[in-house]
């Protein structure tokens, strides 16, 4: 019974991942309702709570409860706690200083950043490494700031909101992630400047 339940949970995780990432040729590989023994994706190394696979972006604890639980990374490659959760909480703590548009951007960007990491939680032939996670995470920053899944672009925020962003992330410039933060900041400003210039040209 336990083995059957474990297979069922595995299929549920796989279905969540398949629906998120996309089923091959429009068909699901695993249907727990008809055959819980017929799952042809790799078995997950761990079963996480269902909401780990569909974050709403409103919970900074997602990084610890989901990402760090499956990938207990350490040192330079650790992203979930030392960067993701840390800055999620810093932004949440400073949220009252932002305008209404700024708060909408914070919520949309937070959700986008978490959703961008969901696929690393999904079963796969070759499991993601801590360095892979860090690369995917930092690679999602600029797109999630400039064009989050829903909500306002950072490019449309007021100067006071930009000042609040800088004040919030300033501590990252003395951390091991300073180079990634600087690169994301410059790229984001460049994209926004490009959008602004296109309005006048």
In this predicted structure, what is the pLDDT of residue 42?
Answer: 56
The C-alpha atoms of residue 112 and residue 122 are separated, in whole angstroms, by 17
* Sequence-distant (≥ 6) Cβ neighbours of residue 197 within 8 angstroms: none
Q: Which two tokens stand for residue 128?
A: 């993601």
The C-alpha atoms of residue 178 and residue 189 are separated, in whole angstroms, by 16
Q: What percent of the chain has pLDDT over 70?
A: 70
Interval 84-120: pLDDT, tens: 999 999 999 999 999 999 999 999 999 999 999 998 8
Interval 154-200: pLDDT, tens: 999 999 999 999 888 876 655 666 677 778 878 887 888 887 776 56
């Amino acid at each position: 019974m336990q083995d059957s339940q474990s297979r069922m949970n595995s299929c549920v995780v796989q279905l969540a991942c398949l629906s998120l990432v996309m089923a091959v040729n429009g068909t699901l590989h695993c249907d727990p309702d008809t055959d819980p023994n017929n799952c042809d994706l790799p078995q997950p190394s761990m079963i996480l709570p269902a909401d780990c696979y569909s974050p709403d972006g409103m919970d900074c604890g997602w990084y610890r409860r989901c990402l760090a639980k499956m990938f207990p990374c350490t040192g330079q490659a650790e992203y979930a706690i030392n960067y993701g959760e840390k800055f999620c909480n810093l932004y949440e703590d400073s949220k009252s200083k932002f305008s209404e548009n700024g708060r909408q951007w914070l919520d949309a960007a937070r959700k986008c950043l978490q959703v961008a990491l969901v696929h690393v939680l999904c079963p796969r032939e070759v499991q993601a490494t801590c360095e892979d996670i860090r690369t995917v995470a930092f690679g999602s920053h600029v797109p999630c700031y400039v064009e989050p899944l829903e909500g306002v672009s950072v490019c449309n925020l007021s100067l006071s909101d930009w000042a609040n962003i800088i004040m919030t992330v300033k501590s990252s410039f003395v951390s091991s992630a300073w180079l990634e933060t600087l690169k994301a900041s410059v790229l984001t400003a460049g994209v926004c400047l490009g959008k602004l210039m296109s309005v006048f040209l």
